[in-house]
Chain A
Amino acid sequence: MSAAPPALELRAVHKSFGRTAIINGVDLAIAKGERHAIIGPNGAGKSTLFNLISGRFPLTSGQILLQGDDVTGREPQEMNRRGLSRSFQITNIFPRLSVYENVRCAVLWSLGYRYSFWHRVGALDSVRARADQIVEQIGLARRRERLAGVLSYAEQRALEIGITIAGGADVILLDEPTAGMSHSETADAVELIRNVTEGRTLVMVEHDMGVVFGLADDISVLVYGRVLASGTPEEIRANKAVQEAYLGTESS
C-alpha cells in the first residue's frame, strides 16, 4: 500500500451531452496540498470537468475519488459535506443578502447547524467567529453590511472565493477566479488565493498564464476533452505538443 491516497482522483471520466462527447477519458490524480491548474483552449471541457467533479452533472462513465473514497454520482451538497467546495466562473452569490450573510450561509453546515430552526443564529459564537474571519480574510470587512448584489465586480469575485472556502473544505475548485479583472485586481486575487488555500488542495481553471505559472505546482493541459500533458510548469512550458496545441509559439 502506498501512503496517503490522492486528495482527488479521476479515472477514465467520460461525459457526453446527447451524441456530443465533451470529456473523452480524463485520468487525473491530485496530491494532498497540491496547487493544480487546468488550462486549455476554449471548448476543451474545463468547466464541464469542474461540473462533473463537483456533482453538478452526472458522469457518463468513469469514477471520481475524493480522499480515496468513491464519490461518483454524489449530489453537489454531498460533495460539499465531504470536503470539496467550488467557485463559479460566472459570479454565483446571494445578491439580496449582505456580504456577512453570504459568508454565514456558507459556514453553517460545516459547523453542524444544518436545518436547525431552534438555534438563534446571531447567538452562535462559533458561526460569528468563523464568518468574521472569512470576511476579514477576503478583504470585505468594510463592506460586510452591503448587499452582495451591489458590490463591485472584483469584490463579488472575492466574495465568491470567500463563500467557497468558508466551509473549511480540504479540496477547493476555483473556476477562472481572475476572469475579467484588471492587472492590479488580478495581483490581489492571486495573493488572496495563495492565502486562503494554504494547507489545502487547490484545483483551478485559469486562462491568465501569469496566474497559472505564479500559483500552480502542477499543470494539466486539457484539449478536446483529453489530458494532453500533465507536469510541472517547466515541463509544460517545454512540451512540444502543448506549444503546438495551445500555448503557441509566443511562449517559448
Chain B
Amino acid sequence: MSPQLLGRLGLWAATAAAMIVLPLAFEQGFALSLLSQIGIAVIFALSYNMLLGQTGMLSFGHAVYYGLGAFVSAHVLNAIGEGGFSLPVTLLPLVGGLAGLAFGIAFGYVTTRRSGTPFAMISLGIAEMVAACALMFPGFFGGEGGIATNRVVGEPWLGISYGPQIQVYYLIAGWCFLCMIAMFALTQTPLGRMANAVRDNPERVRFVGYNPVRVRYLMFCLASFFAGIAGALGTINYEIVTAENVGVVASGSVLIMTFIGGVGHYFGPIIGAGLVSFLQSALSTYTKAWLLYFGVFFIVMIMFAPGGISSLIAVHGPPLRHRLLLRLVPSYALSGAALALLLAGCIALVEMTYHVESGAEFGSELALFGIPLEVATAQPWIAAAAATGIGLALFLATLRFVRRAWAEVNATLQAKEAEA
C-alpha cells in the first residue's frame, strides 16, 4: 500500500472517529442540532462543488434538487406513516437522492447544454420557476406552511426510532460519511478527471474524444443525486419542508458556503459548510447584526482569499513539510494582534450604531465583551474609532513582516527544491 493511500485512509478514519465522538463531547441540545445541521450542509456543499469546483459550472439553483428531494421524501415519509407502504427511515435519504437525480436528469438536460454565464442564468431561471411552482401547487409544496411530517414511523428497530435527536445525528453522520467517500471516489474516476478537463478547457476536451456537454450533464445528474440525499436528511431532521428550501436564497447560501471553504480543494466545502452553519446558528444568538458581519466576511474572502479557507490552509503545506512553519509564526502573531484590535473597533462601532438605531427600548447602556458602554456619551465612540484607525494602520504596517517572512520561506523552499 502506498504511503499516500495509507495517509488518505488515516484521514478518513480520523474523520469517522471525530463524527462519532463529537456529540459525546458536546452534550447540549444546541450542539447536537448544530452538528446535525452541519452534516446536512456538508453533503449539500460537496455536491455543489461537483458543479462549481470540479466542472466549472456556476449554478444559482442547486437548492432546487435539495428542496425537491426534501419534498418528495416528506411525502414518502407521510405515506409510510399512514401505512401506505413500508420503508425503513434509514433508507429515506436514498428516496431523496433518487428524486434529486430524476429532477437533475430532466432539468439538467436543458441547463448543461450551455456553459459559463448562460448556464448560470438558466440555472437561476429554473430556480425561479420551481419557486413559483411552489406557490402554484399547494398540494405538493404545502403552500405557505410547507409540508410537515413525523420521522417516528413504524416499529423501532434495535431501539432506533429516530425520536431522539442523537439517533437522527448518527443517521446524518452515517450518510454524510458515505457521501463524502462516494463524492471523493468520484473525483478519482475517468468522469471525475474529465470534469476537471472540461472546467479547464472544454474546447480541447472535444479533440481528445469527449463531448463536454455529456460530461457536464453526467456530473450535474450525480450532483443532483447527492443534493437530494441532503434534502431528505433535512426532512428527517427538521420534520418540515417549506418553499424556502427550493428558493434562490437557499441556492445562494450553498454557493457562499462552498466559496468560503474554497472550491479548489476537496475538503474546502466541508470547512465552508461547518463554518457557515456555525456562524448562522451561533453568531445569530449573540448579535442581530450577524448578517452584516457575514456579508463583510464573504466580501473580504472573495477579495483577498478567492481560493477560500482551504487554499489558505493549503499554502502552508510546503512550509510544514520542510519544517519552516515556525518562521511564519512571529509575523502572524503581530498581524493577528493588529487585526484583533481592528475587528474589536469595527464591532464596537457596528454594535453601538445598532443599539442607537434600535431605539430607546434597551436604554443607552450596551454591554460588549462584558464591558459596559454608555452610548449616549462620546468616549466609547472615540475609543472605538481610535481602535479601528490604529488597528487598521498597524495591520497594514505589520503585513510587511508577513510578506518578508514568506519571501524567506519561499527562498529556502526553492533552494531545497534545487538541491533535490
Tell me whether B207 and A117 are in contact (CB under 8 A).
no
- For residue A118, CB closer than 8 A to chain B, the reply is yes
Tell me whether A118 and B201 are in contact (CB under 8 A).
no
Tell me whether B191 and A77 are in contact (CB under 8 A).
no
Secondary structure of the A side of the interface?
Answer: loop
Tell me whether B189 and A93 are in contact (CB under 8 A).
no
- For residue B316, CB closer than 8 A to chain A, the reply is no
Tell me whether B215 and A115 are in contact (CB under 8 A).
yes
Q: How far is the CB of B308 from chain A (nearest CB, A)?
A: 15
Q: A80-B209, A167-B208 are in contact. Are A95 and B189 (CB under 8 A)?
A: no
Residues of A within 8 A of B194 (CB): 105, 108, 115
Tell me whether B210 and A109 are in contact (CB under 8 A).
yes
Tell me whether A119 and B190 are in contact (CB under 8 A).
yes
Q: How far is the CB of A120 from chain B (nearest CB, A)?
A: 5
Tell me whether B197 and A97 are in contact (CB under 8 A).
yes
Tell me whether B206 and A77 are in contact (CB under 8 A).
yes
- For residue A92, CB closer than 8 A to chain B, the reply is yes
Residues of B within 8 A of A122 (CB): 188
Q: A85-B207, A115-B215, A167-B209 are in contact. Are A108 and B190 (CB under 8 A)?
A: yes
Tell me whether A109 and B208 are in contact (CB under 8 A).
yes
Q: How far is the CB of B115 from chain A (nearest CB, A)?
A: 15
Tell me whether A95 and B201 are in contact (CB under 8 A).
yes
Residues of B in contact (CB 8 Å), total 27
A122 to B188, CA, bound (A): 7
Of A76, A81, A92, A96, the residue contacting B196 (CB under 8 A) is A96
- For residue A75, CB closer than 8 A to chain B, the reply is yes
Q: A108-B194, A166-B208 are in contact. Are A117 and B189 (CB under 8 A)?
A: yes
Q: How far is the CB of A36 from chain B (nearest CB, A)?
A: 19
Residue in A closest to B209 when the chains form the complex, CB atoms: A109
Residues of B within 8 A of A121 (CB): 188-190, 192-193
Q: How far is the CB of A143 from chain B (nearest CB, A)?
A: 13
- For residue A156, CB closer than 8 A to chain B, the reply is no
Residues of B within 8 A of A104 (CB): 193
Please list 23 pairs of residues, one from A and one from B, whose beta carbons are closer than 8 Å in the complex, sorted by A's number. Answer: A54-B207, A75-B211, A76-B207, A77-B206, A77-B210, A85-B207, A94-B201, A96-B196, A96-B199, A97-B196, A101-B196, A105-B193, A105-B208, A106-B208, A114-B190, A115-B210, A120-B189, A121-B188, A121-B189, A121-B193, A122-B188, A167-B208, A167-B209
* Residues of B that sit less than 8 Å from A by CB: 185-186, 188-194, 196-197, 199-201, 203-211, 214-215, 218, 222
